[in-house]
Amino acid sequence: MTRWYSERKSEHFYKEAKRDGYRSRSAFKLKQIQKKYRILKKGDIVIDLGAAPGGWSQVAKEIVGDEGVVLGIDLSPIKPIRGVTFLQGDMTKESSLQELIESMEEKKANAVISDMSPNISGNYDVDHARSIYLCEQAFITASTFLKLGGNFLCKVFEGKELPRFLKEVKNSFGLVKKFSPPASRKSSSEIYVIAKSFKKN
Ligand SMILES: C[S@@+](CC[C@H](N)C(=O)[O-])C[C@H]1O[C@@H](n2cnc3c(N)ncnc32)[C@H](O)[C@@H]1O
């Protein structure tokens, strides 16, 4: 795909997101992942990491419906969404995991989804390592909260540490796949790790 076409495409998803009332272009990525892998379902309890400005939480809430629960967390504050609880916190800090534990009130989650991205430094190796670090935190969160059979999704920048991370995830889930949704910019190295059927608590 040419750069020009790729930029036009991403602008297209951005405009479509705004028109449909979603707060981010990422909302379409989650919709595309959901269409292919069915990681969320009605009534689910979902933890959304790196949730700002709230696009994934909007999509998750639509899927889980009134009986479901969506709990989002981000470094940045997030404008309220009806039926969604937001916390402000840093998932690399133990205190944020503790806050989530308190908010969950002993409940387990059906899905932990993470779209967390590091600030881009421009040095690819650094950005890749930071992205893997955020995925490790997301994986710890998933291992803490998921019910047996639960699902995990996380964004990662591809690179040399990814096979090690995938191996780690494969030990805990029945099915693990990499997926690049059409709404991701073709120029970007981001992919999504989809892990279904949590096996270990
Ligand atoms: C691509 S945006 C998420 C977009 C979101 N999924 C949506 O649809 O609106 C990535 C987010 O990750 C958050 N983030 C990065 N590092 C984080 C951390 N350590 N703890 C919590 N959130 C983090 C950033 O603040 C940013 O809002």
Atom of ligand 1 nearest to the CA of 53: 9
Which residue of 10, 112, 116 sits with most ligand 1 atoms within 8 Å of its CB, as the best mutation to test the pocket?
A: 116
Q: Across 23-172, where does the E strand assignment appear?
A: 45-49, 69-74, 84-88, 109-114, 146-157
User: Rounded mean pLDDT of 157-175?
Assistant: 97
> 123-153 b/e with 16+ CB inside 10 Å = b?
eeeebbbbbbebbebbbebbebbbeeebbbb
First-last CA distance in the chain: 42
Q: Does any ligand 1 atom lie closer than 6 A to the CB of residue 76?
A: yes
Under 8 Å between Cβ of 98 and 76: no
Note the pLDDT tens digit of each residue in 26-75.
999 999 999 999 999 999 999 999 999 999 999 999 999 999 999 999 99
The answer to whether 155 is a known catalytic residue is yes
Domain holding 148, by residue range, is 3-198
Phi and psi angles of residue 46, each rounded to the nearest 5 degrees, phi first: -125, 135
Q: Count the domains in the chain.
A: 1
Hey, what amino acid is at 12? H
- pLDDT at 188 (0 to 100): 76
Who contacts 188 (Cβ-Cβ below 8 Å, separation ≥6)?
Answer: none
Q: Does residue 179 surpass a pLDDT of 80? A: yes
- Two tokens, residue 185: 């910019």
Q: Does any ligand 1 atom lie closer than 6 A to the CB of residue 91?
A: yes
Q: Does any ligand 1 atom lie closer than 6 A to the CB of residue 72?
A: no
Q: Does residue 17 surpass a pLDDT of 90? A: no
Kindly calculate the radius of gyration of the chain based on its CA atoms and give it in whole angstroms: 16
User: Rounded mean pLDDT of 14-35?
Assistant: 87
Strand 173-179, strand 190-198: pairing = antiparallel
Confidence band, pLDDT 50/70/90 cuts, at residue 1: very low
Q: What is the DSSP string of 55-94?
A: HHHHHHHHHHTTTSEEEEEESS-----TTEEEEE--TTSH
User: What element of type H or E holds 178?
Assistant: strand 173-179
User: Rounded mean pLDDT of 16-35?
Assistant: 89
Strand 45-49, strand 69-74: pairing = parallel
Q: Percentage of residues in the chain with pLDDT exceeding 70? A: 91
Q: What is the pTM of this model?
A: 0.93
Confidence band, pLDDT 50/70/90 cuts, at residue 9: low
List the CATH number of the domain containing 106.
Answer: 3.40.50.150
The span from the CA of 23 to the CA of 133, in Å, is 26
Mean pLDDT (the chain) is 92
Instruction: Name the more confident of 71 and 2.
Output: 71
- The residues pairing with 87 across neighbouring beta strands, listed in sequence order, are 73
User: Rounded mean pLDDT of 124-137?
Assistant: 96
Query: Looking at 29, 31, 61, 155, which residue is catalytic?
Result: 155
User: Rounded mean pLDDT of 13-35?
Assistant: 86
Atom of ligand 1 nearest to the CA of 155: 1
Note the pLDDT tens digit of each residue in 104-123.
999 999 999 999 999 999 99
